[in-house]
Amino acid sequence: MYEAIAFYLLAAVVAGSAFGCVIATNIVRMALCLLGTLGGVALLYFLMAANFLGVVQLIVYAGGTLIVIVFGVMLTSRAAGVRLRPKRSEALAGTLICIGLLAGLVTLLVRTAWPAAQSEAQAYDVAWLGNELLSTYLVPFEMVSVLLLAVMIGAAFLAQPSGKDKEPEER
């Protein structure tokens, strides 16, 4: 029963912050709401005894939110008090995508056969997880790392100053 109470509380936090993220017009507030959603999802993972997943969610998305805020501040600081409102066409496209996504998720939820709940949630051992990642699931794991490497190289290439506006060497 207490797990159910905790679940509904956390679910309310997740859904509420997600909604807040959509209706907020200020990019830093949006980022904070995003943090609430992602942190709430991390807490849901903790509730389901998936400790490793929860911690990784916190590490990855806390850093990600930080970047969002930094970029938000850097990109919007020129125009003070700028309010982000979607155009009508953007809102329409967003609604269509969301309806499609919702339909897909609901179909998935309805069609899946949910096995009966285990008596006690078992925490997965991190060592086991690591071994599995580097043996059974080695190929997907390595593919993801190559993808991340490509992203890093791409980011470094984009950030590289082009020949014309290269800054003078600092001495």
Partner 1 sequence: MAEFTTEDALRSRWSAAARPRAVRWFSGLGVVFVLGAAALGLLATRLTGMSYAVALAVAVVLLLTGGSCLGAAVVVQYPRAVGRLLQRLGLPLFLLAVAAIIVVAWAPVLLWPDKPLIVRDVLAVVGAVGFVSLFASFAIWWERKVAGRIQSRLGPMRVGGWHGWAQSIADGLKLFQKEDILPGGGDAVLFRMAAYVTFVPALSLFIALPFSAAWVGRDLDVGLLLIVALFGLGVIGVLLGGWASNNKWSMYGAMREACQVISYEIPLGFSLLIPIMVAGTLRLTTIGELQAGGFWTWLAFRNPFTLIAALTFLIATLASCKRAPFDLPEAESELVAGYMTEYSGFRWALFMFAEYAEMFAAGALTAILFFGAWHSPLPAAWGAAWATGPLWQQALHGVVFSGPLWLIFKGIFFVYVQIWLRWTLPRIRLDQVMHACVQFMLPVTMVVLLAQTFWQLLVPAGSVLAVALNLACTVLGALVALGIASIAVYGLRYRRRLVGTLVVDHLPGS
Using CB under 8 A as the binding rule, whether residue 148 contacts partner 1 is answered as no
CA distances from 88 to 29, 48, 92, 169 (A): 22, 40, 6, 47
35 CB-near residues (< 8 Å, 6+ apart): 17, 61, 62, 65
User: Measured between alpha carbons, how far is 153 from 145 in angstroms, rounded to an integer?
Assistant: 12
Using CB under 8 A as the binding rule, whether residue 84 contacts partner 1 is answered as no
**Candidates 49-57, 86-94, 109-117, 161-169 — which segment interacts with partner 1 by CB under 8 A?**
49-57
In angstroms, what is the minimal distance from the CB of 4 to partner 1? 13
User: Measured between alpha carbons, how far is 140 from 146 in angstroms, rounded to an integer?
Assistant: 10
Question: What is the end-to-end Cα distance of the chain in Å, rounded?
Answer: 66
Using CB under 8 A as the binding rule, whether residue 125 contacts partner 1 is answered as yes
Using CB under 8 A as the binding rule, whether residue 32 contacts partner 1 is answered as yes
Q: Looking at 113, 117, 127, 159, which residue binds partner 1 (CB under 8 A)?
A: 127
Using CB under 8 A as the binding rule, whether residue 69 contacts partner 1 is answered as yes
Using CB under 8 A as the binding rule, whether residue 59 contacts partner 1 is answered as yes
CA distances from 163 to 42, 86, 155, 170 (A): 44, 37, 17, 16
Nearest CA-CA partner of 21 in 48, 39, 9: 39
Q: Looking at 11, 92, 106, 126, which residue binds partner 1 (CB under 8 A)?
A: 126
What number of chain residues touch partner 1 (CB under 8 A)?
Answer: 26
Using CB under 8 A as the binding rule, whether residue 76 contacts partner 1 is answered as no
Residue carrying structure tokens 């001495």 = 171
Could you list the residues that contact partner 1 (CB under 8 A)?
Answer: 2, 26, 28-29, 32, 35, 51-52, 55-56, 58-59, 62-63, 65-67, 69-70, 73, 77, 123, 125-127, 170
